[in-house]
Amino acid sequence: MENNQQPQVNFITFILSLAGSVQIHLGLAPNPADNKTEKNLPAAKQTIDLLDILKEKTKGNLTKDENELFEHVLFELRMKYMELSK
């Protein structure tokens, strides 16, 4: 892939992008804008809630792989959020 080409965007990359945003808000990954690691639990919760809404709205329209990934991502993000918000 050349430097000026963007990776393919599909539903799975979209979900993983949102999950990455949650990881940044949970302080598990640095913010790519400033390379700082900070917790923002309300923003993490909001993005998890958005993923949950998206999961509900796409029910019955996902491939088996998309559905399994979605379930796994949401479970992991919820568990990490609960652990860090104690």
Give residue-wise pLDDT tens across range 41-66: 999 999 999 999 999 999 999 999 99
Instruction: Tell me whether residue 42 is in a domain.
Output: yes
Indicate the number of domains in the chain: 1
1, burial (CB in 10 Å: exposed 0-12, middle 13-18, buried 19+): exposed
Domain that holds residue 61: 11-84
The pTM (predicted TM-score) of the whole model is 0.86
- Average of per-residue pLDDT values in the chain: 92
Instruction: Tell me whether residue 34 is in a domain.
Output: yes
Q: End-to-end CA distance of the chain: give it in Å, rounded.
A: 43
